[in-house]
C-alpha cells in the first residue's frame, strides 16, 4: 500500500527562540531549522512499514517555503521514495494545511497518511485531525503503536490516563506521539542517493485550494519572566523557606 | 451569544478540567450550555447541571459515543454547534482529539490551548513551547477553542440548576471502533489537578529510586511527575510526563528532582507558583526558573526532606 507522510520545516527544537522587538512574531532570521521531531517519527514509522513489506511506496509531502526542500531531501534520505512540495511563502493555518493535504490525498490516494501529533513552533495539534475530518477517514491520534492487518489498522494511543487501542478502517490518518519509535539517522550514501529521487513542486492555486484564514495574530510577546530565585544551603533551610516564606507546605 | 462546552468524562464521573473550561466560557460571556456525549452518562449530565453558571445541559446518549471516538462525536458537536457562537473543550487528550475535527467540519480555524480571554473574539495562547505568547483574533462565525486548564481557575461544581435535555441525534461513521484501554492505577492526586507536584528526571537513575519521590509525595499529599528522560528510560509510565508533549501543570509547589530543565520540560511546569529544584549540577538550567534551588545529591536531600516536612 501507499503511505503518505507530511513533514514540516520548523525552528530546531534546541533553539531558544526570541520574540521580535516589534512584537510581530518570533525572530527566525539566521536560526537553525530542522524537520519537526514528530514528523521525523512519522517518516521513521513509514520506513519501518516498508521494511516489513506492508508499505510499497512512501510519498513525503511538505507545505511551506522553497527551503522546505531540505526537509523533504532529509525524508528521502531516510527512506521515502518521492517528495511533493506545495510551495507557499505565507504562514498557513492548520486548516489551510489540512485542505492542501486533502488535495494531495485525493491526487495520490494513499491507504495510510502519517503526520506528527503537533509542530513544535505553533503547538497547535490540529492538522491530522482536520485532514481526517475533511477526507472522512478515521483518525488514530497520539499513536505509540501502529499495526496494519488487512484492511484495518490498530492504533494504540497515548491518552491522559494511560493507553487506548482503536481499530480504524483503511484508508486512515495516524498522528505520531514521541514513543512510537526512535528515528534513524540518514547515512551519507543515502543522503547522496536522495538528491536523485524525484521532488515535485505544486502550488495551492494549482491544487485549487483557498488558504484564506479566519485567525489573525495581533501580537507575539515574550512570556512574563519569573523573578530570580535564591539558592538555599541545606534541606532544613529549604523546608523553613517553604513553610514560612512561600507558605506552600 | 451562546457557548457550547464539550464535557470531559468517562461516562461515570465529570472530569475537573470541564470546570476550568466553563470558567473560560464565563469570561467570554453569554449563556453556557454543556454537551455530555456518551453512553449511560446520566450521572455526568446531572453533575454538569449543577455547575455554577451553566444554563442548559445537552445529554446525547448513544452507544456510538461510549468511547469518545472522534469520528462519531465530532459530527454531533458540529451539528449542534451551528447554533452557537463559541465551541469550547478542555485541551485534554480527548479535547485535542475531537475539536479540530469539529472545526474542520464547520470550515473554521481552531484556536488551541488558550490561557486567557481578552474579549469574545481575542485570546492568548503559548507558542514555541511557551517561549512566546500569541494574541489571536478570530473572525470566524463560530469560534472553536480548546482551553488550557491551568490558565483558568475552576468554577464551582455546585450551585447551578440547569435543565437536562436529551439529544436524539446519532452519528456513527463506522470508520473506527474501540478495542481496549489500559489505565495506569494511582492513589495519589491527579497530576494536572494536584496542589503539589514532585517530579523526577534522569538523575533518579532507575525506576526503583522513584520510591523516594513517592514517599515524599505521600507525606505532602502530592502527585508524582517525570521528565521525558525518565519516561524514555523506562523509569515510569508515559502518562506521568510533564512538558510540551506531556501534561501541563501549574501547582502551588513544583519540586523538580534530578531534572536539568530542558525547554520542553519547562513548557509544562513554569507557571507553577513556587518551583524548587534539587540538582547536584549547579549549572543546570532548572535553577534559572527555580524560586528555591538546592545544589545537593538527591539521594541524600530527598530522604532528609521527607523527614523534615
Over residues A57-78, the pLDDT tens digits come to 999 999 999 999 999 999 999 9
Q: What is the pLDDT of residues A5-31, one digit of tens each?
A: 999 999 999 999 999 999 999 999 999
B112–A124 CB contact, under 8 Å: yes
Nearest to B176 among A19, A167, A248 (CB): A167
Under 8 Å CB-to-CB from A141, ≥6 apart: which residues?
Answer: A117, A128, A129, A157, A174, A175, B70, B96, B97
Report pLDDT for B94: 97
Question: Across chain A, what does the average pLDDT equal?
Answer: 96
Is B264 a known ligand-binding residue? yes
Crossing angle of the two packed helices A94-108 and B93-105, in degrees rounded to 10 = 70
Ligand-binding site membership of B286 (annotated): no
Cis peptide upstream of residue A171 (ω within 30 degrees of 0) = yes
User: Between the CA atoms of B281, B286, B288 and B294, what dihedral angle is there, to the nearest 10 degrees?
Assistant: -50
DSSP class of B192: G
A–B interface: beta-carbon pairs under 8 A: 255
B209 is in an annotated binding site: no
CA distance A69 to chain B (A): 22
Residue A227's pLDDT is 84
CB pair distance less than 8 Å for B132 and A132 = no
Work out the pLDDT band at A89, boundaries 50, 70, 90. Answer: confident
Q: Which pLDDT score is estimated for B180? A: 97
Per-residue pLDDT, B75: 98
Whether the per-residue pLDDT at A192 is higher than 90: the answer is yes
pLDDT at A132: 98
- Establish if B252 touches chain A: CB-CB under 8 angstroms: yes
Q: Smallest CA–CA separation between B239 and chain A, in Å?
A: 6
ipTM exceeds 0.90, yes or no? yes
pLDDT at A137 over 90: yes
Instruction: Give the pLDDT confidence score for residue A225 in this predicted structure.
Output: 87
**B227 touches A: beta carbon within 8 Å:** no
**What secondary structure, in 3-state letters, does chain A show?**
CEEEEEECEEECCCCCCCECCCCCCECCCCCCEEECHHHHHHHHHHHHHHHCCCCCEEEEEEEECHHHHHHHHHHHHHCCCEEEEEECCCCCCHHHHHHHHHHHHHHHCCCEEEEECCCCCCCCCCHHHHHHHHHCCEEEEEEEEEEEECCEEEEEEEECCEEEEEEEECCEEEEECHHHCCCCCCCHHHHHHHCCCCEEEECCCCCCCCCCCCEEEEEEECCCCCCCCEEECCHHHHHHHHHHHCCCC
Q: What is the pLDDT of residue B225?
A: 98
pLDDT in tens, chain B (309 residues): 999 999 999 999 999 999 999 999 999 999 999 999 999 999 999 999 999 999 999 999 999 999 999 999 999 999 999 999 999 999 999 999 999 999 999 999 999 999 999 999 999 999 999 999 999 999 999 999 999 999 999 999 999 999 999 999 899 999 999 999 999 888 899 999 899 999 999 999 999 999 999 999 999 999 999 999 999 999 999 999 999 989 999 999 999 999 999 999 999 999 999 999 999 999 999 999 999 999 999 999 999 999 999
Distance between CA atoms of residues A111 and B18, nearest Å: 36
**Minimum distance, in Å, between the CA of residue A166 and any CA atom of chain B:** 5
Mean pLDDT of A179-204: 97
DSSP 3-state of B36:
strand
Mutate to test the interface with A, among B18, B78, B103, B109 (most CBs of A within 10 A): B109
Report the C-alpha gap between B306 and B309 in whole angstroms. Answer: 6
- Kindly state the cell numbers that stand for B233: 528510560
Query: Can you give the pTM of this predicted structure?
Result: 0.95
Report the C-alpha gap between A96 and A90 in whole angstroms: 11
**How many Å lie between the alpha carbon of A194 and the closest alpha carbon of chain B?**
30
> Do the beta carbons of residue A170 and residue A149 sit within 8 Å?
no
pLDDT band per the 50, 70, 90 thresholds, residue A222 = very high
Other CB atoms within a 10 A radius of the CB of residue B141 amount to 12
* pLDDT bucket at A226, cuts 50 / 70 / 90: confident
pLDDT score at A8: 98
- Structure confidence at residue B259 (pLDDT): 98
**In this predicted structure, what is the pLDDT of residue B120?**
97
Amino acid at each position: 500500500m501507499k503511505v503518505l507522510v507530511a513533514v514540516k520545516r520548523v525552528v530546531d527544537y534546541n533553539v531558544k527562540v526570541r520574540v521580535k522587538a516589534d512584537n510581530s512574531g518570533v525572530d527566525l532570521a539566521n536560526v537553525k531549522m530542522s524537520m519537526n521531531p514528530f514528523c521525523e517519527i512519522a517518516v521513521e514509522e513509514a520506513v519501518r512499514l516498508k521494511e516489513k513489506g506492508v508499505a510499497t511506496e512512501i510519498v513525503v509531502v511538505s507545505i511551506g517555503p522553497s527551503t522546505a526542500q531540505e526537509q523533504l531531501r532529509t525524508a528521502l534520505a531516510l527512506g521515502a521514495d518521492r517528495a511533493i512540495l506545495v510551495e507557499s511563502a505565507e504562514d498557513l493555518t492548520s486548516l489551510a494545511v489540512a485542505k492542501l493535504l486533502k488535495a494531495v490525498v485525493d491526487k495520490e490516494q494513499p491507504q495510510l497518511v502519517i503526520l506528527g501529533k503537533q509542530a513544535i513552533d505553533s503547538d497547535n495539534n490540529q492538522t491530522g485531525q482536520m485532514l481526517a475530518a475533511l477526507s472522512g477517514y478515521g483518525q488514530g491520534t497520539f499513536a505509540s503503536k501502529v499495526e496494519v492487518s488487512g484492511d484495518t489498522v490498530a492504533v494504540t494511543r497515548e491518552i491522559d490516563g494511560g493507553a487506548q487501542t482503536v481499530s480504524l478502517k483503511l484508508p486512515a490518518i495516524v498522528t505520531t506521539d514521541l514513543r512510537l519509535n526512535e528515528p534513524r539517522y540518514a547515512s551519507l550514501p543515502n543522503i547522496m542517493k536522495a538528491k536523485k529521487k524525484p521532488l515535485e513542486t505544486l502550488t495551492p492555486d494549482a491544487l485549487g485550494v483557498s488558504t484564506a484564514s479566519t485567525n489573525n495574530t495581533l501580537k507575539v510577546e515574550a512570556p512574563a519572566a519569573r523573578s530570580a530565585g535564591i539558592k538555599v544551603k541545606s534541606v532544613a533551610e529549604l523546608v523553613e523557606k517553604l513553610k514560612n516564606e512561600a507558605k506552600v507546605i | 451569544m451562546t457557548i457550547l462546552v464539550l464535557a470531559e468524562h468517562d461516562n461515570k464521573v465529570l472530569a475537573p478540567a470541564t470546570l476550568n473550561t466553563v470558567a473560560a466560557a464565563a469570561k467570554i460571556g453569554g449563556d453556557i450550555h454543556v454537551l455530555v456525549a456518551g453512553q449511560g452518562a446520566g450521572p455526568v449530565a446531572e453533575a454538569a447541571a449543577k455547575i455554577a453558571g451553566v444554563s442548559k445541559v445537552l445529554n446525547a446518549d448513544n452507544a456510538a459515543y461510549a468511547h469518545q471516538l472522534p469520528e462519531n462525536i465530532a459530527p454531533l458537536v458540529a451539528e449542534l454547534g451551528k447554533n452557537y457562537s463559541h465551541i469550547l473543550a478542555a485541551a485534554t487528550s480527548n479535547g485535542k482529539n475531537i475539536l479540530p475535527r469539529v472545526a474542520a467540519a464547520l470550515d473554521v480555524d481552531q484556536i488551541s490551548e488558550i490561557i486567557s480571554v481578552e474579549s469574545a473574539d481575542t485570546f492568548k495562547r503559548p507558542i514555541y513551547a511557551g517561549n512566546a505568547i500569541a494574541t489571536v483574533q478570530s473572525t470566524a462565525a463560530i469560534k472553536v477553542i480548546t482551553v488550557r486548564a491551568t490558565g483558568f481557575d475552576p468554577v464551582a461544581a455546585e450551585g447551578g440548576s440547569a435543565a437536562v435535555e436529551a439529544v436524539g441525534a446519532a452519528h456513527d461513521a463506522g470508520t473506527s471502533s474501540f478495542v481496549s484501554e489500559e489505565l495506569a492505577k494511582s492513589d495519589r492526586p491527579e497530576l494536572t489537578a494536584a496542589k503539589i507536584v514532585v517530579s523526577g528526571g534522569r538523575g533518579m537513575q532507575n525506576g526503583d529510586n522513584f520510591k523516594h519521590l513517592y514517599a515524599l509525595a505521600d507525606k505532602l499529599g502530592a502527585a508524582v511527575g517525570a521528565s521525558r528522560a525518565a519516561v524514555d528510560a523506562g523509569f515510569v509510565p508515559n502518562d506521568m510526563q510533564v512538558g510540551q508533549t506531556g501534561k501541563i501543570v501549574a501547582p502551588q509547589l513544583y519540586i523538580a528532582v534530578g531534572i536539568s530543565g530542558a525547554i520542553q520540560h519547562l513548557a509544562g511546569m513554569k507557571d507553577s507558583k513556587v518551583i524548587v529544584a534539587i540538582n547536584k549540577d549547579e549549572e543546570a538550567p532548572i535553577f534559572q526558573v527555580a524560586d528555591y534551588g538546592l545544589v545537593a545529591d538527591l539521594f541524600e536531600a530527598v530522604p532528609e526532606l521527607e523527614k523534615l516536612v
